[in-house]
Amino acid sequence: MKRGVKGLLLLFLVVSNISAESPTFDGEKAFTYLLDQTNMGPRNPGSKGHQTCIEWLINIGDNWADSVVVQPFTGFNPFGGKGIELINIIYRFNPNYPQRIFLSAHFDTRPIADYDSKDRFSPILGANDGASGVAVLLHLSELFSNNPPPVGVDIIFWDGEDLGRQNNLEEFCQGSRFYSQNPIKPVPEKGIVIDMIGDADLQIYYELYSLQFAPHMLQEIWTLAKNLGYADVFIPKPGQMVYDDHVPLSLHGIPTIDIIDFQYPNASRNYWHTHEDTPDKCSPESLKIVGDVLLTWIFMQE
Ligand SMILES: [Zn+2]
């Protein structure tokens, strides 16, 4: 009798543990966080939307994360020719666990529309290039708040990613470069950048720096995506080489891959760095696919 009760109790614990560790990613919910950002207007550093977004991200983190760390620093604004205040925002889950990984996206948007045919010197809305990655990370954080991940997780929102002039790579990725030189301890052992993953026509190839820096992690993610039924989106073939936040991090000893669909929407048209980068070009389904893969990956860690 006693043993029976104990067995039942154990069974209950196991069942409740499974349900606690298997949250479901809701693409529609994530999409509302994309719209929340585009409703702020452009979020290029120094703009009103940028400041609104910073306050919004910190407030949300105070509710969902175990702790929020901000990392303010003075960056360089090549368009204004001077220093500019930037800030990385870090949500920490299980902040004391020494075994840590990070998931990240940039929250700033491009101050110019250099690939548009008109209005090239006004800032873009950045529905895909900016808001999409942040939207997925926010919903993951919401899920982690009720279902603590099995390892330490840092969710990092980079500033100053898109603040460079063409062909001046060192002016881009300012937030991740600053962090890579001043990481928050305990330092994550590896990580993922997501960028431009909201495209309604989503196809994600191997990004070539990632293939160089962290081939095993890349393989692991694409295999996982295939097992989840997303082989038509995560295509296991080499794509383009994209200088993104994963480069400074990997060069500073934190192997990082970039999950990015750089053909937005496809090989024959381009919304990237134009005023066409708006929410109607993105979809909740795309956010869900990337969210499902990351969520499953996190709960596989131990
Ligand atoms: Zn960009």
- Per residue in 88-136, pLDDT (tens digit) is 999 999 999 999 999 999 999 999 999 999 999 999 999 999 999 999 9
22 versus 96: which is more confidently predicted? 96
CA 127 to ligand 1 center in whole angstroms:
11
Domain assignment present for residue 58? The answer is yes
Give 51's contacts (C-beta < 8 A, 6+ positions apart). Answer: none
The residues placing their C-beta within 5 Å of ligand 1, an ion, are 129, 162
Domain assignment present for residue 15? The answer is no
The boundaries of the domain holding residue 94 are 24-300
Please report the pLDDT score of residue 20 as a whole number.
43
Q: pLDDT, tens digit, for every residue of 261-285?
A: 999 999 999 999 999 999 999 999 9
CA 276 to ligand 1 center in whole angstroms:
13
Number of C-beta neighbours around residue 266 at 10 A? 12
CATH number of the domain where residue 258 is located: 3.40.630.10
CA 195 to ligand 1 center in whole angstroms:
8
- Would you state the structure tokens that stand for residue 258, as one six-digit string? 């970039």
Q: What is the DSSP letter of 196?
A: S
Total residue count of the chain as it appears in this document: 302
Please determine, for residue 2, whether its predicted confidence score (pLDDT) is greater than 50. Answer: no
Q: Shortest CA distance to 151 belongs to which of 266, 40, 298? A: 298
Domain assignment present for residue 242? The answer is yes
CA 30 to ligand 1 center in whole angstroms:
20
DSSP bridge pairs for 106: 158
CA 193 to ligand 1 center in whole angstroms:
13
Q: pLDDT, tens digit, for every residue of 161-205?
A: 999 999 999 999 999 999 999 999 999 999 999 999 999 999 999
Domain assignment present for residue 219? The answer is yes
CA 129 to ligand 1 center in whole angstroms:
5
Q: Shortest CA distance to 85 belongs to which of 54, 45, 130? A: 45
In this prediction, residue 21 has a pLDDT band, given cuts at 50, 70 and 90, of: low
Domain assignment present for residue 19? The answer is no
Whole-model pTM: value is 0.93
CA 6 to ligand 1 center in whole angstroms:
56
Indicate the average pLDDT of the chain. Answer: 93
Please report the pLDDT score of residue 19 as a whole number.
40
Cβ atoms of 176 and 209 closer than 8 Å: no
**Cα torsion at 254, 244, 90, 143 (round to 10°)?**
-100
Domain assignment present for residue 17? The answer is no
Please determine, for residue 10, whether its predicted confidence score (pLDDT) is greater than 50. Answer: no
Q: Report the domain count for the chain.
A: 1
Question: What angle, 0 to 180 degrees and rounded to 10, lies between the N-to-C axes of helices 284-300 and 215-227?
Answer: 120
CA 272 to ligand 1 center in whole angstroms:
7
In this prediction, residue 80 has a pLDDT band, given cuts at 50, 70 and 90, of: confident
CA 182 to ligand 1 center in whole angstroms:
24
CA 92 to ligand 1 center in whole angstroms:
26
CA 97 to ligand 1 center in whole angstroms:
33
